[in-house]
Each structure stands twice: as structure tokens, then as C-alpha cells.
Amino acid sequence: EWLVREFKLTTLMVTHNLEQALNYGNRIIMMDSGNIILDLKDETKEDLTIGKLMEHFANTGTAALNDDKMLLSKWSNAS
């Protein structure tokens, strides 16, 4: 993290961990079946929580929340 900030490097992190995406990313691109379904950055991303991110995903209508980890994440971290 220090190297990225110090040298202003562009980096790409691919993760399924929503907490890491919120903590480290300055832009979040969510994909489903190879398609971009959500692209959030700047002010839109600043106030984002895991619960709100899961709501965005559920509201896209492109995929069902059928993964246990995703469902548990939605309800245990919603705020």
C-alpha cells in the first residue's frame, strides 16, 4: 500500500472480498458473467458499506444472490 501511494502507481486488485474492496479501492467495478454491472468511484464510493454494495448488486437484476457467503455478508455487515 505504501509503494502505491508513494509512487502514485496505478494498480488493479481483483477480489471477492467486499471489505478489502471497500478499504483499498478508490474505484469499484462489479462484474457478473463477464459483464460490468456496477462502476462506483469518488463521492459515490466514499459512503459505501458492504450492505449498500450488496443492495446495488441485488438491484441490478442480473444475478441472484444465491451464494451463502454473499447472503451472510449482506445481513451480517449491512448498515
Contact in structure between 75 and 57 (CB atoms under 8 Å): no
Contact in structure between 51 and 34 (CB atoms under 8 Å): no
pLDDT values of the chain reduced to their tens digit, one per residue, 79 residues: 788 889 989 888 898 888 888 888 788 898 888 888 888 887 778 888 888 888 887 787 655 555 555 555 544 555 4
Q: How buried is residue 49: exposed, middle or buried, by Cβ count under 10 Å (0-12/13-18/19+)?
A: middle
pTM, full prediction: 0.62
Q: Between the CA of residue 32 and those of 7, 14, 42, 49, what are the distances in Å? A: 32, 13, 22, 19
